[in-house]
Amino acid sequence: MDFAEFKEAVYRRFGLYLDGYKEPQLKRRIDSLMALLQVPDYGAYLNLLARDGQQWQRFIDKITINVSEFFRNQEIFVRLEQEILPSLLATFRDLKVWSAGCADGPEPYSVAILLAELAPGGRHQILATDIDPGALAAARRGVYGERALQAVTPTRLNRYFRREGDHFYLQEQIKGMVDFRQHDLLKDAYGSGFHLIICRNVVIYFTADTQNDLYRRFYQALAPGGVFFIGATENLFQYRELGFEKIAPWFYRRPAGTS
Active site residues: 29, 130
Backbone angles phi, psi at 98, to 5 degrees: -130, 120
CA distance 122 to 115: 8
Find the shortest distance in angstroms from Cβ 64 to ligand SAM: 3
Nearer to ligand SAM, 41 or 102 (CB): 102
- State the residue number with the nearest CB to ligand SAM: 64
Residue (186 or 247) nearer to ligand SAM, CB: 186
Which of 238, 235, 210 lies closest to 23 in space, CA to CA?
Answer: 210
Distance CA 242, CA 220 (A): 10
Q: Closer CB to ligand SAM, residue 116 or residue 135?
A: 135
How far from each other are the two terminal CA atoms of the chain, in whole angstroms? 46
Please state the closest distance from residue 86 (CB atom) to ligand SAM, in A: 22
Please identify, using beta-carbon distances, which residue of 188 and 245 lies nearer to ligand SAM: 188
Q: Provide, rounded to whole angstroms, the least separation between the CB of residue 200 and ligand SAM.
A: 4
Q: How far is the CB of 104 from ligand SAM (least distance, A)?
A: 7
d(CA 99, CA 257): 24
The Cα–Cα gap between 131 and 135 comes to 8
Residues lying near ligand SAM in the complex (CB under 6 A) are found at: 64-68, 72, 101-103, 107, 130-132, 135, 184-186, 200-202, 205, 231
